Structure formats: structure tokens, C-alpha cells
Structure 1
Amino acid sequence: MKKHLFCLLFLCAFINKGVSQLRIFNEDPIINLENFDKQPVHWGYFLGFNQYDFKVDYNNDEGDILIAKSVGFNVGLIGNLRINDYLDLRFEPGLYYNQRDIGFPGFTDISDYKREVKSTYIHFPLLLKVSTKRLGNFKPYVVGGVSGSINLSSEHDSQDDNYSGTFRMKKNAMYYELGFGLDFYLPYFKFSPSIRGVFALTDELIPDNDSNSPWTSNLNGMYSRGVFVNFTFE
């Protein structure tokens, strides 16, 4: 998460320097899209990247599983409903793709030790955006809310399990989300980089059919958590 935060701050600093040369932050700036936020409803889209992890609950202290994270990508749409000058209700459905590799202790054969968990989430967040007063051509905000997802790669309905090399997850999950970002008002559109933490409220693990499975018998639950960095265009 520190790497994502550093990248976001670097990007914001770069944009800040660039737009200041365009008189966005001067004492007498040219105000772009002056009435944009007065629209009752507006639309947009976002692109970005993500990194997912698991929070794991164990039955016994028999050695932790190892989780190798990777960077995935996001793409989606935005619907924004204005409440007042400082509050907006946002719906941001999107496609989130990622892969996590899980290493299970106690195995010497790589085919037993490693499981690739590919996830293709259709993600449905309902978020409350709380903004400050607009400052020239930019405006900071925080955002939070709840979300649900459908994992198209979950193997939820598979009869195979880890004995056949298949790691199964539940198809549906619920989350809460918290984050912050900056709105930049450019001449023709509003650009907003943001970073958001996402934390599962529901267990996603489907145990193996054998209750004594060396892969899942010590796992009481697995909860996805992740970091989203999105770039929105409205």
C-alpha cells in the first residue's frame, strides 16, 4: 500500500506542477467547468490497477500459508448523484482482475504446495463522497461505503478441490471501502486520481470435501482485502 500511496502522491505532485503553469493555481486562476458540480446527475469512467491480499483465520497455530500478491487492472463506469455542495452518492460498477499465488506449508512437491488463485471480480460499490470547498481548479475528498462482488473465476460450482489442484472460493462477497482523492478541473473534463482500501466482510473460502484436507482443514476463513488506485474521467 505504501508503494501505491507514493505513486499517487508523485502523480498528484506532477499534475500540480503542470497545471500551475496553466494558471490553475495562480492568484487569479481561469476557473474550468465552473458549474460542473451543480449537475444533479453526471457520468464518467475509470481506469486503474489493484493489489489483492487475503486475511486468513486459522484454527490452530500450525504454520501460516504464504500469499504472493500481484498487480491487476480495473476498468469501470461512474454514476454520480449530487446531494449538496459537499456530498455525492456514487455508484462505480467495474471489472477487477487479479491473481494471488498461495503456498501451503508441509509440501515438497510444487504441484501440491502452490495454488494459483485467479480472480475476475464484477465489483459494485455504493459510495459516499465527502468533498471540501473547491479551491480554484482542484478539490480534495474522502470516500467510503459498502460494496459487493461476483467472482467469475471462483470455481464455486466445481466438484474438484485441492486434491485435483483446484482452489475454490465463494462466488459472492461483501466489503467496506475507505479512501481519498483529488478532483482536478481541466478545460474539458474532470480528472480524479484516488486510492482506496477494500476489506471483505464475508468469508470467501470453500473448504475441501475432505474435512482433514492438508490444504484447508486448518483454515477457518479467508477474507480478501486490497488496494485500488483509480483514475477517473468525468
Structure 2
Amino acid sequence: MKNNEDVGRSMLKILCVALAAAVALQVAARSNALGLNRAYADQRSWHLGFSVGLHTQDFVFTHNGYVTADGQSWFMEQPSFSPGFCVTGLVNLRLNTYFSLRFTPGMYFGNRTVIMHDVNSGSREEQDIKSNLVVVPVDVKFSALRYRNARPYLVAGAMATFDVSRRRSREPLQLNTADFLLTAGFGCDFYLPFFKLCPEIKFCFGLTDVLSHDRPDFQDDPDGYKFTHSLKKLTSQMVVLSFYFE
């Protein structure tokens, strides 16, 4: 009989401790939830947003050592970077706790200044290449665990671009309209009371030759071919700083 009473008291103590622990956990969880902004924002299957930002465009020149009949050997470079403006929309599809798929179509406005100089005579020419790009990026986003009101993440994907700026004939270098780039970057979600602010840095690496090698506008001026003929390939690169509002 005494053993039964002892067992009953032990079970009662265990039950009281379990109830106290459950209440403490509930209070702690409630206090933690009250300290989080937009606690359930990441549980939505999809959401929309937009971004504004800055970017710089760069060229990677692959020279072929071409020498003209009169001994000229032209070398191209982009000595400086000019910041451009970009704006995109956002469609984010949640895949699971850590991964999501992002579509961010938009417009990039920028320009690049190319310096062309003859290494033999020292002659120099300059061309300002403006671009208005329609961009169609698709990225996979990998997010770390949320810590309070911040959640860092990585992104990687691909981006197609279409230059809709007006082409002018007789330019030393002329670019094709379409390009395809691989992208990789990182950022952080900051949870504010009414929206998420997500600064992000992305690096874009062009895969296609964007130089137009066929130049019928120089048929009556063969000397104009010297710049295009001096390049085997021309690819593009970009660094993009975006601020997403989600």
C-alpha cells in the first residue's frame, strides 16, 4: 500500500513538472513570436515583390593578334566602370524550408566606354556603348535558418538579356541583341514590420559572344573592319546591387 502511495506521489510530481515545462515553453514561444516581424512570411507558397538597384557592366576582350595591311594592331579595353540603374519585378515560389525559385524580370540601363588604341602607332579611338537590357533571370535561392529578424541566403541561376537600345551603323564595335549569363550571389532578408527588405549582390558571367562579326555597313569602307577583325570574342560581365521589397 505504501509503495502504491509512493508511486502515486512520484507520478504526480512528474506530471506537475511536465505541466510546468509545457507552460514555460508556451510562454517562451509566445514571447519569441511577439519579438519577430512577419513571423509567418516564409510559409507562403508564393509571393510578389520588386527591386531597385545599381549595376556595372564590363567586357571581356579576347584578341586574336590581327594586323592590318598597313601594320596597325588594335587593342581594346574598358578602363573604367559606369554605374547603371536597374528595376525588376519578383515572383518567389517556395519549394521547401530552405529553397525557393525566383523569377525577376526587369530592365537594366547602363553604358560602357571602350578605348581602342593601335599598339604600334599610338593612335586612339573611343566608343561609348549604351544598353537598355530587358532581363529574364531565373534563380534558385538557398536560405539559412532565420535568426531573429534576419536570414542570410545564397542565389544561383541563369539570365537571358535582350538589348532594345537603338543600333547605329558605322560604330567601330556593334553588339548582338541577345546574351545569356550565369549568375551567383548572396544577400540577407531583413524582416521589417510591414515588409521584407533584402539587399543582394549578384555576379553575372556571359557565356555567348556578343560581338557582331558580320558588318555589311563597312562594305564600302574596308578600313572599318579593323576593330571587329581584331577580336576573336567579346563577352559581357555584370555586378548587380539590388534592394528587394517583398
2:177 paired with 1:168? no
Match of 1:129 in 2: 141
- Give 1:76 deviation, angstroms: 1.1
Tell me whether 208-217 or 91-100 shows the greater mean CA deviation: 208-217
* Structure 2 match to 1:5: none
In structure 2, the partner of 1:66 is 77
Which amino acid in the other structure matches residue 53 of structure 1? D
Following TM superposition, where does structure 1 have runs of at least 4 consecutive aligned residues deviating by more than 4 angstroms? 107-110
Which secondary structure does the structure 1 equivalent of 2:42 belong to?
A: helix
1:146-225 pair list within 5 angstroms:
146-153=158-165, 155=167, 160-162=169-171, 167-207=173-213, 208-209=215-216, 213-225=225-237
Superposed CA deviations along residues 32-89 of structure 1, whole A, max 9, x for unmatched, are: 1111111111000000000010011111285631213200011110000000010000
Give the number of equivalent residue pairs.
200
Corresponding residue number in structure 2 for 1:229: 241
Residue 95 of structure 1 is matched in structure 2 by 107
Per-residue CA deviation, residues 130-189 of structure 1 (Å, 9 max, x unaligned), is 00011111100000001101101262xx6x233xxx632110110100000000001000
Name the residue aligned to 2:7. Answer: none
Q: TM-score, normalised by structure 2?
A: 0.76
Q: Does residue 37 of structure 2 align to residue 32 of structure 1? A: yes
Tell me the secondary structure at the aligned position of residue 37 of structure 1: helix
Structure 1: where are the runs of 5+ without partners? 1-26
Measured after TM superposition, the shift of residue 221 of structure 1 is 1.2
Greater radius of gyration (CA): 2
CA distance in 1, matches of 2:166, 2:105: 19
Any conservation in 2 of the 1:154–1:170 contact (CA below 8 Å)? Answer: no
Cα RMSD (Å) of the superposition? 2.1
Give yes or no for the alignment of 1:82 onto 2:94: yes
Distance 1:215 1:63 in 2: 7
Gaps of 5+ in 2: 1-30, 67-72
Stretch of structure 1 that moved more, 124-133 or 207-216: 207-216
